[in-house]
């Protein structure tokens, strides 16, 4: 993530970036690069602090403050030697960092610190060697380096806490699996599993790989992977995701995907790419940091010249200039945006939506309209019972129960919808006797000596049977499929079926409209069906009879009025997803490699569309907060460092400047971590 901190060029940030670039295989140990960088700063801080103690004891200003006197032949040169050790060893991250920044022609934080400590060291050394008169300030140089090292160490701990998305994801996977061979099982590393292998997953264990259940039944918790809070029932034929937590039952899973093809590996890759992708707001931060460095160097030089001209002495002038450069370090600016990106990307992954294009996600905050596909997006993509009409004294339960019993042997989508609805309502289904399918008409069977038929309206028309109920005609005008129940040629009921609207769709529409966005629908269905769905959900507009290849053109037409997001299934909606300002693929399940979408919704939940917009707005707000703090802090701190309040006794030392600079960076890191959805 070189670009993220391009304006700062920090050595430890480079180490952090390199560690995050590593694509974690199953055997990867997360955090090794982070740990090395942390330990390096910790070690340099401890050793430099130990060397600083005798520097303080040998420094005349500290002796005067403590009321002691320590001097012996060569003590000044010992002080020089100790200060040199602190300057070279403790200051090495900054001295080496300036080289990298100048090579990149991007002077930043390392440049300011390196210039400040070098000027202080050279001046103080010249005083000890008798080259110039005055009083050196080795003690301030040493404490400045100590504070800077401590600040970087503490800050890195805070920063890493906001950048552990990949590590958290990598830790989800178990390291071993119980491979089934015949009647015995053997524990093997997960990375040795192959497609077709069978693994046993005991109660409470994590599923080791993506696969299909072939034996057993259990409830599996996928909350950490997809954000789905409710455990999902798994039985033979059900797909399971590696990293999910098994419930109370044992299951045997056949391996379908391994390595980089698994759902979790794809998620890790998407999170990594999203965190490394450049934010438009980062460009602003980088420009601001570059300008701040130029201002700090200029103000530092002017500060030195002014105080020297006023007769305060070279030592005081050097100290003021060094404080200006230290306190103005654009450290917080360099982290303001990248940390928010890392946190928001991790939140998105945990919430069940995966960001493939960072810039597109940032555009979500500016959306004015959302266009939904209908089938499989706002609806479940399957037939279900919407209305039951009980006629001639029959009850709704009797009508649905009789229809389901006759349809039990049929594989027609209508039959499956009827049976499913009966099961969902707890109505027992008993297959009827003498079942017979009537081609183009329906089905019939025998229940308790009565002939039960489930037929379409054509059957009634042929026999001159009238429903005598206007409700059936109304349902048909809504585009619903209506079937009729006959008992010995007596009409006893009617059942209306349609593509079931997702329970979450209505709430998603309400949330989006509350944000001030228009909600629309594109569908290939006829106008009657589209009008019914639009009416049920309270959509602002709908477009019916739109063929797949026409959807992209329709999106372009809507873009003439609004900035739009397109939400579809990622297959026949691909051209429209690409055309929209933001393309959101829904219904992806465990297949996250949808090239046409900017964001993938794992849970197939329309509510997540509103969550995306909300997160985008909150992410942008956090970026602005961090940028305002990082720049506003300097507007106050730089004049204080330059000594504008010297006349009233307010003087900041370089060490105090380092504390304030480090504190501003930690504040930015903490603020980023406070981002919530």
The CATH number of the domain where 198 resides is what?
2.70.150.10
- Count of domains forming the chain: 4
State residue 272's pLDDT score.
64
> Does the predicted model carry a pTM greater than 0.75?
no
- Does residue 125 sit within a domain? yes
Regions of the chain where pLDDT drops below 70: 1-35, 108-109, 132-136, 151, 154-172, 223-230, 267, 270-289, 329-335, 468, 570-572, 587-596, 654-655, 657-658, 662
The catalytic residue among 373, 525, 573, 608 is 373
- Does residue 327 sit within a domain? no
- Does residue 653 sit within a domain? no
Examine the domain organization and report whether 59 and 123 are in the same domain.
Answer: yes
Examine the domain organization and report whether 138 and 203 are in the same domain.
Answer: no
Of 433, 435, 434, 427, which is closest to residue 404 (Cα–Cα)?
427
Which residue, of 579, 614, 649, is where some domain finishes?
614
DSSP letter, residue 87: I
Which residue, of 169, 203, 230, is where some domain finishes?
169
- Does residue 415 sit within a domain? yes
Digit-coded pLDDT (tens) for 520-539: 999 877 788 888 899 999 99
Q: Which domain holds residue 194?
A: 176-268
- Does residue 8 sit within a domain? no
Examine the domain organization and report whether 123 and 61 are in the same domain.
Answer: yes
Domain CATH for 514: 3.40.50.1000
Active site residue 573: no
Task: Determine how β-strand 239-240 pairs with β-strand 232-234.
Answer: unpaired
Which residue, of 567, 594, 614, is where some domain finishes?
614
Examine the domain organization and report whether 365 and 507 are in the same domain.
Answer: yes
Instruction: Say whether 326 sits in a helix, a strand or coil.
Output: helix
Digit-coded pLDDT (tens) for 547-605: 777 888 999 999 999 999 999 875 567 788 888 999 898 865 445 445 667 888 877 78
Examine the domain organization and report whether 368 and 516 are in the same domain.
Answer: yes
Examine the domain organization and report whether 557 and 592 are in the same domain.
Answer: yes
32-35: long-range pairs with CB below 8 Å, 24+: 34/156, 34/160
Digit-coded pLDDT (tens) for 204-260: 898 988 899 999 989 888 766 655 556 788 989 888 888 888 888 899 999 998 887
Examine the domain organization and report whether 44 and 117 are in the same domain.
Answer: yes
670-674: long-range pairs with CB below 8 Å, 24+: 670/158, 671/622, 671/625, 671/626, 671/629, 672/162, 672/335, 672/336, 672/339, 672/340, 672/342, 672/343, 672/622, 672/626, 673/158, 673/161, 673/162, 673/339, 673/343, 674/622
Examine the domain organization and report whether 457 and 540 are in the same domain.
Answer: no
DSSP letter string, 544-574? -S--GGGHHHHHHHHHTT--EEEEE-SSTTH
- Does residue 78 sit within a domain? yes
Cα torsion 608, 609, 614, 620 to 10°: value is 120
Q: Classify residue 577 as exposed, middle or buried by CB count within 10 Å of its CB (0-12, 13-18, 19+).
A: buried
d(C-alpha 533, C-alpha 528), whole Å: 9
Examine the domain organization and report whether 562 and 469 are in the same domain.
Answer: no
- Does residue 456 sit within a domain? yes
State residue 588's pLDDT score.
52
Examine the domain organization and report whether 138 and 249 are in the same domain.
Answer: no
Of 489, 529, 512, 503, which is closest to residue 603 (Cα–Cα)?
503
State residue 19's pLDDT score.
33
State residue 108's pLDDT score.
66
Examine the domain organization and report whether 115 and 77 are in the same domain.
Answer: yes
Of 232, 266, 423, which is closest to residue 356 (Cα–Cα)?
266
State residue 514's pLDDT score.
94
Examine the domain organization and report whether 227 and 146 are in the same domain.
Answer: no
State residue 84's pLDDT score.
94
- Does residue 619 sit within a domain? no
Domain CATH for 495: 3.40.1110.10
């Amino acid at each position: 993530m070189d670009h993220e901190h391009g304006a700062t060029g920090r050595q430890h940030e480079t180490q952090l970036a390199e560690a995050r670039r590593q694509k974690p295989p199953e055997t990867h140990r997360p955090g090794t690069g982070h740990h090395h960088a942390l330990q390096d700063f910790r070690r340099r801080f401890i050793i430099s602090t130990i060397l600083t103690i005798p520097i303080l004891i040998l420094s005349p200003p500290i002796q005067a403050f403590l009321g002691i006197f320590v001097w012996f032949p060569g003590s000044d040169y010992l002080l020089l030697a100790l200060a040199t050790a602190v300057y070279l060893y403790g200051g090495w991250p900054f001295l080496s960092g300036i080289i990298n920044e100048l090579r990149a022609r991007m002077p930043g934080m390392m440049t300011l610190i390196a210039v400040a400590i070098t000027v202080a060291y050279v001046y103080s050394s010249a005083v000890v060697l008798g080259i110039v008169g005055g009083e050196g300030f080795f003690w301030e140089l040493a404490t400045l380096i100590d504070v800077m090292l401590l600040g970087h160490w503490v800050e890195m701990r805070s920063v890493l806490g906001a950048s552990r998305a990949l590590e958290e994801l990598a830790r989800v996977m178990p390291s071993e699996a119980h491979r089934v061979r015949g009647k015995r099982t053997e524990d093997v590393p997960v990375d040795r599993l192959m497609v077709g292998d069978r693994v046993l997953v005991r109660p409470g264990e994590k599923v080791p790989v993506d696969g299909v259940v072939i034996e057993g039944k259990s409830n599996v918790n996928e909350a950490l992977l997809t954000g789905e809070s409710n455990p999902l029932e798994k039985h033979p034929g059900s797909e399971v995701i590696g990293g999910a937590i098994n419930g109370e039952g044992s299951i045997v899973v056949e391996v379908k995907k391994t390595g980089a093809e698994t759902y979790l590996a794809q998620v890790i890759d998407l999170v990594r790419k999203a965190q490394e992708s450049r934010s438009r707001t980062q460009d602003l931060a980088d420009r601001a940091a570059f300008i701040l460095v130029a201002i700090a160097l200029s103000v530092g030089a002017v500060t030195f010249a002014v105080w020297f001209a006023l007769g305060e002495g070279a030592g005081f002038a050097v100290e003021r200039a060094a404080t200006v450069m230290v306190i103005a370090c654009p450290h917080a600016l360099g982290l303001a945006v990248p940390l928010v990106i890392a946190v928001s990307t991790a939140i998105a992954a945990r919430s069940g939506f995966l960001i493939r294009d960072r810039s597109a996600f940032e555009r979500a905050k500016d959306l004015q309209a959302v266009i939904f596909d209908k089938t499989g997006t706002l609806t479940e993509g399957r037939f279900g019972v919407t209305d039951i009409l009980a006629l001639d004294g029959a009850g709704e339960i009797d009508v649905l129960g009789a229809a389901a019993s006759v349809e039990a042997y049929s594989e027609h989508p209508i039959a499956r919808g009827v049976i499913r609805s009966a099961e969902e309502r707890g109505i027992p289904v008993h297959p009827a006797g003498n079942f017979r399918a009537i081609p183009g008409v329906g089905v019939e069977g025998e229940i308790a000596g009565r002939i039960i038929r489930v037929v379409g309206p054509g059957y009634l028309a042929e026999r001159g049977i009238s429903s005598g109920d206007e409700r059936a005609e109304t349902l048909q005008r809504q585009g619903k499929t209506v079937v009729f129940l006959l008992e010995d040629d007596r009409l006893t009921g009617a059942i209306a079926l349609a593509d079931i609207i997702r329970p979450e769709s209505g709430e998603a529409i309400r949330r989006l409209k509350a944000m001030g966005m228009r909600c629309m629908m594109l569908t290939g269905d006829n106008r009657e069906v589209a009008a019914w769905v639009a009416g049920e959900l309270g959509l602002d507009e709908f477009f019916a009879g739109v063929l797949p290849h026409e959807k992209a053109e329709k999106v372009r037409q809507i873009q003439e009025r609004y900035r739009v997001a397109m939400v579809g299934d990622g297959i026949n909606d691909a051209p429209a997803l690409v055309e929209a300002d933001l393309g959101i693929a829904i219904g992806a399940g465990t297949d996250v490699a949808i090239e046409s979408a900017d964001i993938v919704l794992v849970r197939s939940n329309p509510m997540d569309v509103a969550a995306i917009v909300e997160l985008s707005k909150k992410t942008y707000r956090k970026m602005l907060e961090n940028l305002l703090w990082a720049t506003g802090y300097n507007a106050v701190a730089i004049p204080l460092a330059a000594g504008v309040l010297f006349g009233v006794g307010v003087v900041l030392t370089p060490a105090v400047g380092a504390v304030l600079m480090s504190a501003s960076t930690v504040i930015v890191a903490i603020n980023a971590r406070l981002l919530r959805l």
